[in-house]
Structure 1
Amino acid sequence: MAQWTECMNFGIAVARQAREVILDAFKTQKAVMLKSSPADLVTETDQRVEKMIISAIRQKYPTHKFIGEESVAAGERLVLTDSPTWIIDPIDGTVNFVHRFPFVAISIAFAVNQQTEFGIVYSCVEDKLYSAQRGKGAFLNGVPLYASGQEDITKCLVVTEIGAERDDLALTTMTTNILNLLKIPIRGIRAVGTAAVDMCLVATGGADAYYHIGMHCWDIAASALVVREAGGVVIDTNGGEFDMMSRKVIAASSLAVAKRMAQVIQAFPCARDDENPTKAGNDVYNTANGH
């Protein structure tokens, strides 16, 4: 594991450079392209930042592989092999970015033998850099992180997202899940607008759990490790083992809370990331300043 520390430090340095690009563009008017729905957006900054990150890493580590959100959107195959692979979301929270809502993150994970070795989540506007290396703990700006450890779900604050899917089944499932959790009851539900930051909030203890259906591997690969290294639990919404390609996740302060949530959360059908490698590339259907 120690051999990947240099890679993680380089990834953090690249993330810091990418943050400056995002902050420069944050307050400007964006030309927006739609992907799968009016809530699934991409901007020139997303594309520019991803190219910048991949270019810098490829120059340093030419044999490494990459899975990037915008590269997949452009038609590249999504394949996770045993080779050292960087999994990149250049801007997690693009809708926030477009609207200048101040929760926008860079997410960078690094996997070897299909196991995440380190994760970096940089909440750019907040200047909060979350990081974790397998077996070495989780940190926020260098300070150790610890999940709350809460085991009583009735004392939990839960984070989730509405998501980009807006068909009737997805919306009905999403609202039913919220209703079922509130009826347990839990203390409340929040939505920040970026899956990566949502999960990192569980690692801080500021939230006790997070769940979502329909996100992608680049949204959660890094933050899942941050949660686990902070002492939290990450599982599938069906209560089974977490699979970053399944597009379903529960992250929680304890196994008891995660399992209780799994009893009431339902998932709508969504193709696995590794079964639908060019979906995003086929979904771009409009370009025009957000319309």
Structure 2
Amino acid sequence: MTPDFDQLSLQVADIARRAGQFIRQEAANFDRNRVENKGLHNLVSYVDEESERMVVAGLRELLPEAGFITEEGTAGEATRQEYTWIIDPLDGTTNFIHGLPCYAVSIALLHGQELAIGVVYEVNLDECFRAVRGGGAFCNDTPIRVSAAPDLNHSLVATGFPYSNFHRIDAYLPILTEFMRRTNGVRRVGSAAVDLAWVAAGRFEGYFEFNINSYDVAAGILLVREAGGQVTQFLIDGDPIFSREVLATNGHVHREMQEVIAEHWR
């Protein structure tokens, strides 16, 4: 039986909020000595891991048959089922560790090949973004829409800088320079999930990033689409969930951003 995705999304939002409350409590007295390195500049803490355990336990009660793709691997080996949860328990770990107030819990549900639910809870602003396939996008239960800005000249753009894999940086930097010249500015927030949620809410007109993971972007992709925006890979209109690159916009500036990227991305 197909679940009621709208009702399920409300339950997922509650789980994200509970995990966010735990993260907020831990942030008050966080000890940097309890940070580990998963790889070059790739940090993880007990907060990430415990938040993920909380989220996984809650989701298993909602949909016992579902598989999991999680950042920290607390649900075991990643598995794809008819229903698959894609989870980042603390997107923006580096921000969290350094005391910068922008990080989020990100939870998506993949039904077959399609996203059915997306929830991003930004902890510091207490903003819960939620989307259901075909049901629109919301922030704290208020409907949201992408910006109506018509072109890059009227746009604020977000990105994420590479921090461990620099093999495409010679292509990335000229793209970044061009967007600096042609927009109202470029921002690096430090959380892909939040970047996408803020595109959906009309705060950014566009966002692009490479070397990105499915658990960073899955929930946010659905938010942008349900808010009326467009999300693709950099140069083709393919689905970006597992492609390691994402371009999300209000739709009006999408082709313009692709043209800028295409000048340098080979």
Same fold, TM-score > 0.5, yes or no: yes
1:176 aligned to which of 174, 177, 181: 174
Q: Residues 95-244 of structure 1: matches in 2 within 5 Å? A: 95-167=94-166, 169-183=167-181, 185-244=182-241
Query: 2:230 is aligned with what amino acid?
Result: V
Please provide the CA RMSD for this pair: 2.0
Q: Which amino acid aligns with 2:254?
A: A
SS in 2 for 1:126: coil
Secondary structure at 2:199 match in 1: helix
Residues 61, 79 of structure 1: alpha-carbon distance in 2 compared, 3 angstrom cutoff: closer
Q: Which runs of 5+ in 1 are unaligned?
A: 270-291
Aligned-residue identity in percent: 32
Contact 2:144–2:227 under 8 Å retained in 1: yes
Alignment match, 2:68: 66
The higher-RCO structure (CA 8 Å, 6+ apart) is 1
Contact 2:56 2:75 in 1 (8 A): no
Is the counterpart of residue 4 in structure 1 residue 5 in structure 2? yes
Question: Segments of 4+ in structure 1 off by > 6 A?
Answer: none
Distance, in Å, in 2 between the alignment partners of 1:75 and 1:86 is 10
Cα distance per residue 1:133-152 (max 9 Å; x no partner):
11111111111101013231
1:11-50 aligned within 5 A: 11-27=12-28, 28-30=30-32, 31-38=34-41, 40-50=42-52
Conserved? CA contact 2:231–2:240, under 8 Å? no
Q: Using a 3 Å threshold, how does the CA distance of structure 1 residues 233 and 106 change in structure 2: closer, same or farther?
A: same
Q: Give structure 2 stretches of 5+ with no counterpart.
A: none
Equivalent residue number for residue 91 of structure 2? 92
Q: Residue type matched to 1:181 in 2?
A: F
- The match for 1:80 is 80
Compute the TM-score of the two structures, normalised by the length of structure 2.
Answer: 0.92
> Following TM superposition, by how much is the alpha carbon of 1:178 offset from its aligned partner in structure 2, in angstroms?
0.4
Alpha-carbon distance change, 257 to 80 in structure 1, aligned in 2, over 3 angstroms: farther
Instruction: Give aligned pairs, total.
Output: 262
Q: Give distance in 2, aligned partners of 1:204 and 1:55.
A: 29
- The alpha-carbon deviation at position 2 of structure 1 amounts to 6.7
Q: Report the Cα distance in structure 2 between the residues aligned to 1:60 and 1:181, rounded to whole angstroms.
A: 43
- Describe the shift of the 1:65–1:78 C-alpha distance in structure 2 as closer, same or farther (beyond 3 A): closer
- SS across alignment from 2:134: coil
Q: Distance in 1 between matches of 2:171 and 2:75?
A: 29
SS at match of 1:158: strand
Describe the superposition over 1:226-248 as per-residue Cα deviations: whole angstroms up to 9, x where unpaired.
Answer: 11111111111013222300011
Q: 3-state DSSP class of the match of 2:253?
A: helix
1:48-59 paired onto structure 2 within 5 Å? 48-59=50-61
